[in-house]
Amino acid sequence: MVNKFTFALGFALAAAQSFGAVYYVATDGSDSAAGTKDKPFATLNKANTVVHAGDTVWVRGGIYDLRDTVFFARYKMTAAIILTASGESDDNRIHYLAYPGERPIFDGTNLPVAAGTDHSDGTPAGAMYTSPIVISAKYLHLKGFEVRNTPMKHNSNSGVFLYGSKHIFLENMDSHHNAGPVFFANDGAPDGGGHIFLNCDAHDNYDPLGWQGDGENADGFGAHYQEPGQGDTTKFIGCRAWWNSDDGFDFINQEFPVVLENCYAMGNGYSDYGRGNPKNGNGHGIKMGESTLGGGRHIIKFCAAWKNKSTGFYANYTGVGSKWLNNTSYMNKDREFAMASTLFDSKGNRIADIAPLTGDNAHVLKNNIAFPNKNSQIGECWEKIESQGIDHYVECPAGENNTWSLKLDLTVDDFVSLDDPSMTVTGKDLSTIPGILGPRNADGSLPDVGFLKLKKGSRAIDKGENLGFPFAGEAPDLGAFEYGMPSSSSAAVPSSSNAESSSAASNSSSSTAVSIATLLDNSTDVASPAMVFDLQGRHLGTLPATQLCGKSMNEALRAHLKTSGAYIIKRRPKLQRVIVK
């Protein structure tokens, strides 16, 4: 049976076979060239005019000095690169990929930005915003790019801007030193959303000249304006945000659930590698509000936030509760968890200043660590409704099996380490210094360090509630890192048909394991074969259903994969990403 399944190991650079054409872009290319490896294009804009579903664009390393813009009439903005050509499905995408071993850097230092008026007049001269990369398409995969130095005049400009797009897969993207929000998904289209941000970093972004204030809009990651019941869920997995002048993650006006998993937020609200303190930067680590129409019930799990200027985890006066599961908040300046909420009518009009959410609408807080236990609007809430003359404290949900509800005041003795460059080093680029925010593993997964992890004998071990995630010991632990299990890796994303109960899958660089990452939440036909592709979408082979019978996908693949690599598995109708170590 083994000879029925063959693998091309590593990343094939040969012809794309039945998966479409292959093009190349290089800093020394020409848009009048053929787009081949020997005669590459000069720009992604040119590639965008020729690609179709299944095609691959290899982007060679080097600095792409962005000096020209085009007008994007649909959003009345200008951009250096606009990607509008679409793929056909999640397993028939258009791929824009960094050439293996090389790093394409899109630099906006010399980008001519819009005048920055308060209201666009619909002309290029009157455009409000400018971005290095704008995506308005469906089923694209971008991997391995660096986007930096986006300038501004009056309005904050995004580094990578998704407008009305669907199922965009951004992987191993690093964007920094931009004058505005870094990754901004504007999903106003009826069928928009469903994006995946995997192993992306947003750091050191600061908008000092914004009309709304000094540092007001430079968030790391944002998803906004998706209406209730429209589109698909966007996921942020293994992403990190630090030293952004506003917030790390901000989902204001997002009326459709998003999922954050294994994400980190540190030092947001500051600038200049942690030395600057912008006047108007909010400084929340992970901000999941506000929802006014009741659709923004998000899931935040296995995330960590520390040393942010304001709170670690913040509800931002939302009108509907989110699920906060197994998160760790440490030494944030204001609060660790702040569940500030209020009430809105069916049209989104606020009917209370501050009001706790109760019943099925309440926040769900389980298995979280707050160190210290300094929270607000948890257990005891301030309720203020001026129209009714209400202004007092009331009892409100405190959650279950959290450090505060268990009255656990953790200390340094409960952790492997509370020492990390992100806690002590300022004035330097943390992405280059080994630590939790330092260089990623070769596969893009998060660094494996001891910071914030529980040590043997910690009082937070076995104190959690079983939420359906894998755990070691008698019961789950509190916080983002389970003691006794391989360290969390964002390259190994949980596999489940339910976003709330997907496992906190992980792997270790020192062990041999196959971890499955489900990027689409669908059931799998157990009688179907498993088709295997490389990350460029090329078919490498098919594993018959007979070889999967009675085995987990892990076991079946381990029997056939002898070399490390990353692969996409399609087994009807589920699409999976597989990391083999």
pLDDT value of position 539 = 59
Average pLDDT of the segment spanning 11-16:
31
pLDDT (tens digit per residue) in 538-552: 556 677 776 666 666
How much of the chain is in helix, strand and coil states, percent to nearest 5?
A: 10, 30, 65
Share of the chain above pLDDT 70, in %: 81
Measured in whole angstroms, how far is the alpha carbon of residue 114 from the centre of its chain?
A: 28
Average pLDDT of the segment spanning 337-348:
91
In DSSP terms, which residues pair with 186 in a beta bridge?
A: 163, 224
Residue 167 has pLDDT above 90, yes or no: yes
Bigger pLDDT: 489 vs 449:
449
Average pLDDT of the segment spanning 146-174:
95
pLDDT value of position 157 = 93
Q: Are residues 32 and 70 in contact, defined by beta-carbon separation less than 8 angstroms?
A: no
Closest to 408 measured CA to CA, from 473, 462, 350: 462
Average pLDDT of the segment spanning 66-83:
92
Place of tokens 């709330």: 500
* Gap between the Cα atoms of 412 and 279, Å rounded: 32
Residues 6+ apart with CB under 8 A from 487: 448, 453, 481, 506, 508
pLDDT (tens digit per residue) in 186-216: 987 788 899 999 999 999 999 998 888 999 9
pLDDT value of position 561 = 59
Does 530 reside within a domain? yes
Does 153 reside within a domain? no
Q: Are residues 499 and 532 in contact, defined by beta-carbon separation less than 8 angstroms?
A: no
- pLDDT band of 48, cuts 50, 70, 90: very high
pLDDT (tens digit per residue) in 108-159: 999 998 776 667 777 777 788 999 999 999 999 999 999 999 999 888 999 9
Does 545 reside within a domain? yes
Burial classification of residue 511, based on how many CB atoms lie within 10 Å of its CB (0-12 exposed, 13-18 middle, 19 or more buried): exposed
pLDDT value of position 236 = 96
Report the predicted TM-score, pTM, of the whole model to 2 decimal places. 0.84
* Gap between the Cα atoms of 126 and 123, Å rounded: 5
Does 307 reside within a domain? no
- pLDDT band of 559, cuts 50, 70, 90: low
Phi, psi (rounded to 5 degrees) for 236: -115, 115
Written as one letter, the residue type at 251 is: F
Residues 6+ apart with CB under 8 A from 533: 91, 539, 540, 567, 568, 569, 570
- pLDDT band of 172, cuts 50, 70, 90: very high
Report helix, strand or coil for 548. Answer: helix
Phi, psi (rounded to 5 degrees) for 328: -125, 125
pLDDT value of position 212 = 85
pLDDT value of position 1 = 28
Taking residue 230's Cβ as centre, other Cβ atoms within 10 Å add up to: 16
* Gap between the Cα atoms of 51 and 35, Å rounded: 11
* Gap between the Cα atoms of 456 and 453, Å rounded: 10
* Gap between the Cα atoms of 463 and 457, Å rounded: 12
Domain that holds residue 537: 512-581
pLDDT (tens digit per residue) in 255-278: 899 999 999 999 999 999 999 999
In DSSP terms, which residues pair with 304 in a beta bridge?
A: 264, 328
Place of tokens 């029997």: 559
- pLDDT band of 525, cuts 50, 70, 90: very low
Share of the chain above pLDDT 90, in %: 66
Average pLDDT of the segment spanning 318-328:
96
Bigger pLDDT: 79 vs 5:
79
* Gap between the Cα atoms of 323 and 331, Å rounded: 22
pLDDT value of position 544 = 75
pLDDT (tens digit per residue) in 485-500: 866 444 333 222 222 2
Q: Which residues of 123-139 are buried (b: 16+ CB within 10 A; e: fewer)?
A: ebeebbbbbbbbbbbbb
Average pLDDT of the segment spanning 306-328:
96
- pLDDT band of 2, cuts 50, 70, 90: very low
Residue 512 has pLDDT above 80, yes or no: no
Average pLDDT of the segment spanning 220-243:
93
**Can you say whether the dihedral through the CA atoms of 77, 78, 82, 84 is positive or negative?**
positive
Written as one letter, the residue type at 122 is: G
Average pLDDT of the segment spanning 445-470:
96
Q: Are residues 26 and 60 in contact, defined by beta-carbon separation less than 8 angstroms?
A: yes
Does 484 reside within a domain? no
Report the domain count for the chain: 1
pLDDT value of position 513 = 25
Q: Are residues 286 and 300 in contact, defined by beta-carbon separation less than 8 angstroms?
A: yes
In DSSP terms, which residues pair with 354 in a beta bridge?
A: 384
Least confident interval from 174-178, 390-394, 450-454, 522-526: 522-526
Q: How far is CA 417 from CA 156, 194, 359, in A?
A: 37, 36, 38
Does 215 reside within a domain? no
In 33-109, which residue ranges form alpha helices assigned H by DSSP?
44-50
pLDDT value of position 37 = 96
pLDDT (tens digit per residue) in 352-371: 999 999 888 999 999 999 99
Does 541 reside within a domain? yes
Place of tokens 């293994």: 238
Does 516 reside within a domain? yes
Q: Are residues 540 and 527 in contact, defined by beta-carbon separation less than 8 angstroms?
A: no
